[in-house]
Amino acid sequence: MHNTTPPTTNNPFDIFVIGARKGFFIATNNLLPNVLMAYVIAEILNITGAMKLIGVAFGPVMGFFGLPGEAVTVLMTTWLSCSAGVGIAVSLFAKGLLTTTHITILMPALFLMASQIQYMGRLLGVADVPKKYWPFLMLVSIINSCIGMLVMRFFV
């Protein structure tokens, strides 16, 4: 997704502009469509009442991390796609279902368990990691996320 070749210019203004341009492309090509999709999904979950059910069902588990049950949708989505996960978090925040405290607790988990299905191919597959260890590595990421959320509870 990112162009990692070093810029050929030494002018700091040009370098900033190169980065800002990357930012614009990511924001418009990646973030915007994902946020839009996340808002639509959140709306569907709301209208059908599914969000309420999820909130009740996962309330106890997520409560352990200081989060409302609905926050589980953020984690499930980021596991599939980081941008979509952030999008869901943003839309739940806009709806008032998540507060700034909740967002702060979720922040490390949003990335530590991000896009795992995608990265299975792009990272584990490419690096030739024996498939036998893939489920274990996935578990490590989820454990990392849980520790991350617990640690953040003490900082918010």
Partner 1 sequence: MGVENQSSDEWKVGVGAYIALIFAVLFFSGLFMKVDGMAWLGALDFTTLAGKFGTMQDAKSTFVGSGGTSAKGGFLFALSLIPTVMLALGVLEIFSHYGAIRAAHKLLTPLLRPLLDIPGRTGLALITDLQSTDAGAALTKELYDEKQITKKELVIMAAWQYSGAGLINNYFAIGSALFASLTVPIIMPLVLMVVLKFVGAMFTRLVLNTLYKKDFVNA
| Residues of this chain, 57-96, that bind partner 1 according to CB under 8 A | 82-83, 86-87, 89-91, 93-94
Angle between helices 50-63 and 32-48 (to 10 degrees): 100
* Paired tokens of 86: 């952030």
Task: Decide: 139 and 146 in contact? Cβ < 8 Å.
Answer: no
CA distance 119 to 129: 12
Q: How far is it, in rounded angstroms, from Cα 101 to Cα 156? A: 6
Per-residue binder mask for partner 1 (CB under 8 A), 31-50, x = binder: xx--xxxxxx--x-------
# of chain residues touching partner 1 (CB under 8 A): 76
The nearer residue to partner 1, 1 or 60, going by C-beta atoms, is 1
Which structure tokens are listed for 123? Answer: 């990272």
Return the number of the residue (72 or 98) whose C-beta is nearest partner 1.
Answer: 98
What's the one-letter identity of residue 68?
Answer: P
Tell me the Cα Rg of the chain: 18
Of 6 and 60, the one with the shorter C-beta distance to partner 1 is 6
Q: Which span (7-15, 49-57, 58-66) binds partner 1, by CB under 8 A?
A: 7-15
**Positions in 108-137 near partner 1 (CB under 8 A):** 108, 110-116, 119, 122-124, 126-130, 132-133, 136-137
Q: For partner 1, which residue of 20, 45, 62, 73 counts as binding (CB under 8 A)?
A: 20
